[in-house]
Structure 1
């Protein structure tokens, strides 16, 4: 391996990390855009808790069905 190849390898690593960092930052910025930072109310918290419980029950039911089907 010559010095030019080693330098190219190192530069490629740094460039890949930099480009990935930029893409991730841009994606995060775009996903946050347009959403107001409103505080959660007790109604929202209660609804989200109920949704989590329903999802948990659905996962358990699916696991039981898979066990029965064996």
Structure 2
């Protein structure tokens, strides 16, 4: 492996981590509800948002795996 390949590999790893953090933050921001609602409703909505977030991340991983072939 030459230096260019090593640098590209490191950059891809770092960029993937930044991209995933940005996507997670965006999903969290989009799923936040107003603070004046009932706390029980907010807990239910938060749990549902976390489940949705988990499914989206899983589907992204699957899509990346499929894209490799």
User: For the residues of structure 2 that align with 1:19 and 1:36, how far apart are their CA atoms?
Assistant: 26
* Superposed displacement of residue 27, structure 1: 0.1
Stretches of structure 1 lacking an aligned partner (at least 5 in a row): 45-70
Structure with more relative contact order (C-alpha pairs < 8 Å, separation 6 or more): 2
* Superposed displacement of residue 37, structure 1: 1.3
Stretches of structure 2 lacking an aligned partner (at least 5 in a row): 41-69
* Superposed displacement of residue 10, structure 1: 0.2
Match of 1:26 in 2: 26
TM-score (norm 2): 0.51
Match of 1:11 in 2: 11
Q: CA RMSD in A?
A: 2.0
**Any runs of at least 4 consecutive aligned residues in structure 1 with deviations exceeding 2 A, and if so which?**
none
TM-score (norm 1): 0.50
The count of corresponding residues between Structure 1 and Structure 2 is 40
